[in-house]
Amino acid sequence: MPNKIPRVPVREQDPLVRAKNFEEVCYGYNAEEAQLEASRCLHCKNPRCVGACPVSIKIPEFIGKVLAGDFRGAAGVIAEDSSLPAVCGRVCPQESQCEGSCILGIKGEPVAIGKLERFVADWSHANGGSGAAVPAPNGHKVAVVGSGPAGLACASDLAKWGYSVTIFEALHKAGGVLEYGIPEFRLPKEKVLAKELEEVKRLGVKIETNVIIGRTVTIDELMDKEGFEAVFIGSGAGLPKFMGIPGENLNGVFSANEFLTRNNLMKAFREDYLTPIHAGKKVCVVGGGNVAMDAARTALRLGAEVHVVYRRTEVELPARVEEVHHAKEEGIVFDMLTNPVEVLGDEKGWVRALKCVRMQLGEPDESGRRSPVAIPGSEFEIPTETVIMALGTSPNPLISKTTAGLDVTRRGCLVADETGATTRRGVFAGGDAVTGAATVILAMGAGRTAAKAIDEYIKK
Amino acid sequence: MYEILKKEMLTPTICRMKLSAPRLAAAARPGQFLIVRADEKGERIPLTISDYDAQAGTVTIVTQKIGASSADIIAYEEGEAFADVVGPLGLPSEFVEMAPEKLAGQRYILIAGGVGTAPVYPQAKWLKEHGIPVDVIIGAKTRDLLIYVEEMRGVCDNLFICTDDGSEGFKGMGTHMLEHVVSEGHQYTQAVIIGPMIMMKFTTLTCRKLGIPATVSLNTLMVDGTGMCGACRVSVGGKTRFACVEGPEFDGYEVDFDEAMRRQGQYKAEEAEANEKHVCKIGRGK
């Protein structure tokens, strides 16, 4: 009986060692481990895992090929539905998607689908890529705004169907949040991300960096002057939120975006790169999502003592369980039911402490989570040198403000229907630009959906 | 890559470069800026645009050697190329999008301090081309640090020069020059002040005293320049604003300059360390 085999554990870097470096935390499976884990799959007739995957990867099929030792074949199966398997194998919330719906998970541990996907993708990159055929051009031009997960997924699908696709990226490097947001220790840039981008380019996708749509060139110009028949906007949710409490503009208060961009995109952790970063001896990270974990673990690696300050309890932490677990292993302190009310500064205008109030959980709110309520008179100070605000992000208004006919919601998100069509003909959108901050894989799913709609729109 | 088509030293520490950047040149307007990253390991440095030519596909930048990163930029020679040049960033100057009937009644005084003279040039040029009365004050510590004097003469009605030591023109700072010019009967409906933060602070105070509305262009810290990092946040009228996407120009009367100056120095300790370790890249033999 295959399901008698326990889930094959994955090797990881020792927590105390990795707390001091930026090397990848998880080593992933080797071929032997992957095949053993693959043998656990029951090959359900109606695989629930596929339905739970936002890009519908044919999971049992690729796992079957892993078991048979046909790793290239497995890569081919995944490539039909995902252009970023090495990324998704690492950063997807599998526990609430594919693995969360695995039958084996009812009584025991689900198949480690994410780790298997990662193994196949890494094997493929190390062995010459998927080798998928480059399609013949169909003569149609599509522009994609943003080279993050949504844009890359959309561009890959369109390129596979023969479209001439150009991605416009505002930063100097492609990848969007995968490059500037997610740290090296979760997603190595050269070893993993660069390889996936190479695969996308191999399909014929052009990536033009240093072009800010809405400033360098507008959507109208792309369509009217440069001959793009359709545009997909996958510009993400890039604007950081702050709390609006006193003292937020003191020196030593940073958005998680700034802190992570300095470290990831600009490689401030490396001595030979010029961009500075400031962590200091003690850092408080405010927030409880994956970005908060990334910021906290980055600050830790830069040598700081790190506290995560969150207003609800650990149960409500929006971050992935694995990330919270890793953060704790590495020595990050979690101050739960704690809400900042003011950042206190010294006489030179630098942070000296975070003034907080103790919280308790009240009635469930609209989201179903119990809403935190401040306990009167419970104010206290956490001495700290640095405060990092990881409170979420909202879409950048640059494009909506410079494109006529593009409606936005009250929260600044682009209005798009279920196919990704916006209120402007020929313009489609998906990912965080439409939903507000969400996950890599949901953005990829939206990119793929929009690619289908763009194909239908142009062929009509 | 973005080739350096022309390089000249305007002073021993201030350098002017003409870069090939066609998309940027076609979109640039007065008041906007750009970001340069010299090479793979460099910082993203926000710099003002001091001229642009859509047809030639070029933009001109003026850089003053301050720290390791600006020194690296200046070390580049004609024929070499920067890894990245991106822009235009920020909003154009208010007058660019002003209704013609409103613009017609304006009389501008542009007040430039030090290397801030460079971005004043395209503003004066635009106003002059649109037939709007425009005078310019250029202030510098001493004669050798004055830049853009001849260029500016061609794009304004009256050019006033002042130096702190009196080695050229009026002896005194821009604030004194402005008071002097106004006392001689010149009248203005709007001032635009571009220079070091401290100069903008005091010149704004002088404008307030004289009853002239003052626009300032804030050179805050930035990483991406597109609204993503928030390093550039400034308090304007008690509200936090992002200089990169909501500026760089703001109503000077409303800007909290003391906070802006403090925030500018946020990475001073790290920069001092970097400067110590910095290996000059001149003659790096690429």
Cα separation, A107 vs B227, whole angstroms: 48
Partner-chain contact A272 B230, CB within 8 Å: no
Identify all chain B residues contacting A239, using CB atoms and an 8 Å cutoff. 227-228
What is residue B278's predicted lDDT score, i.e. its pLDDT?
62
CB-nearest partner of A276 from B27, B89, B270: B270
Among partner residues A216, A262, A272, which is closest to B223 by beta-carbon distance? A262
What is the predicted pLDDT for the residue at A365? 80
Cβ separation B235–A249 shorter than 8 A = yes
| Residue B60 Cα, gap to closest chain A Cα (Å) | 16
pLDDT tens for each residue of A264-284: 999 999 989 999 999 999 999
Q: What is the pLDDT of residues A17-37, one digit of tens each?
A: 999 999 999 999 999 999 999
Ranges A156-165, B89-98, B276-285: which has the least confidence: B276-285
For residue range A326-341, list pLDDT tens digits in order.
999 999 999 999 999 9
B224 and A239: CB-CB below 8 Å?
A: no
Residues in B closer than 8 angstroms to A256, CB to CB, are: none
Mean pLDDT of B233-260: 96
CA distance B270 to chain A (A): 6
Tokens of B52: 């642009």
Give the residue among A71, A75, A66, A17 at the shortest CA–CA distance from A40: A66
Closest CA to B173 of B202, B211, B132: B202
Q: How much is the pLDDT for B283?
A: 47
pLDDT for A370 equals 82
Q: Minimal Cα distance from A253: which residue of B?
A: B231
Other CB atoms closer than 10 Å to residue A418's CB: what's the count? Answer: 8
Residue of A nearest to B32 (CA): A215
Neighbouring-strand partners of residue B136? B110, B159
- Compute the distance between CA of residue B239 and CA of residue B262 in angstroms, rounded to an integer: 17
The string of pLDDT tens digits covering residues A358-409 is 999 988 887 777 889 999 999 999 999 999 999 999 888 899 999 999 999 9
Mean pLDDT of chain A: 94
Structure-model confidence comparison of residues B245 and A363, the more confident one: B245
Please state the rounded mean pLDDT for residues B252-275. 90
Among B25, B245, B54, B218, residue whose Cα is nearest residue A400: B245
**Confidence (pLDDT) at B230:** 95
Rounded to whole angstroms, the Cα distance separating A412 from A406 reads 11
Q: How confident is the model at residue A183 (pLDDT cuts 50, 70, 90)?
A: very high
Least confident of A24-38, A107-121, A354-368, B153-167: A354-368
Find chain B residues with C-beta within 8 A of A169's C-beta: none
Residue A201 amino acid letter: K
pLDDT tens for each residue of A2-21: 457 899 999 999 999 999 99
Q: Is A162 helix (H, G, I), strand (E, B) or coil?
A: coil
CA distance, residue A261 to nearest chain B CA (Å): 7
> Per-residue pLDDT for A308 more than 90?
yes
pLDDT, position B68: 81
Residue type at A233 in one-letter notation: I
- For the ranges A4-8, A52-56, A301-305, B71-75, the maximum mean pLDDT occurs at A301-305
The pLDDT of residue A108 is 92
The distance of A401 to chain B (nearest Cα, Å) reads 12
pLDDT tens across B171-225, in order?
Answer: 999 999 999 999 999 999 999 999 999 999 999 999 999 999 999 999 999 999 9
Give the minimum alpha-carbon distance from A142 to chain B in angstroms, rounded to a whole number. Answer: 19
Q: Determine the pLDDT at residue B285.
A: 40
Predicted local confidence at residue B233, as pLDDT: 95
Q: Is B230 exposed, middle or buried (CB count within 10 Å of its CB: 0-12, 13-18, 19+)? A: buried
Q: Considering the entire predicted model, what is its pTM? A: 0.93
What pLDDT, on the 0 to 100 scale, is given for residue B277?
67
Task: Please report the pLDDT score of residue B86 as a whole number.
Answer: 98
pLDDT given for residue B279 in this prediction: 59
Predicted local confidence at residue B284, as pLDDT: 46
CB atoms inside a 10 Å sphere around CB A334: 18
For residues A365 and A371, is the Cβ–Cβ distance under 8 A? yes
As beta bridge partners, residue A356 has A340, A380
Partners of B229 on chain A (C-beta within 8 Å) are 240, 255, 257-258, 261-262
pLDDT digits (tens, 9 = 90+) for A202-255: 999 999 999 999 999 999 999 999 999 999 999 998 889 999 999 999 999 999
Give the residue, B69 or B230, on which the prediction is more confident.
Answer: B230
pLDDT at B281: 53
* Span A191-217, pLDDT tens digits: 999 999 999 999 999 999 999 999 999
Query: How confident is the model at residue B70, as a pLDDT?
Result: 87
Listed in sequence order, the residues at least 6 apart from A375 whose beta carbon sits closer than 8 Å to its beta carbon are A357, A358, A359, A360
Mean pLDDT across A81-91: 91
pLDDT at residue A3, rounded to an integer: 54
ipTM value for the complex? 0.93
CA B122 to chain A, closest CA, distance in angstroms equals 18
Residue-level pLDDT at A133: 74
Q: Which candidate in A179, A190, A211, A216 is best for mutational testing of the B interface (most B CBs within 10 A)?
A: A216
Q: Which chain A residues contact residue B226 at CB under 8 A?
A: 170-171, 212, 215, 238, 396, 398
Cβ contact B228–A396 (<8 Å): yes
Cα(B138)–Cα(B116) distance, integer angstroms: 9
CB-CB neighbors (< 8 A) of A275 in chain B: 43-44, 223
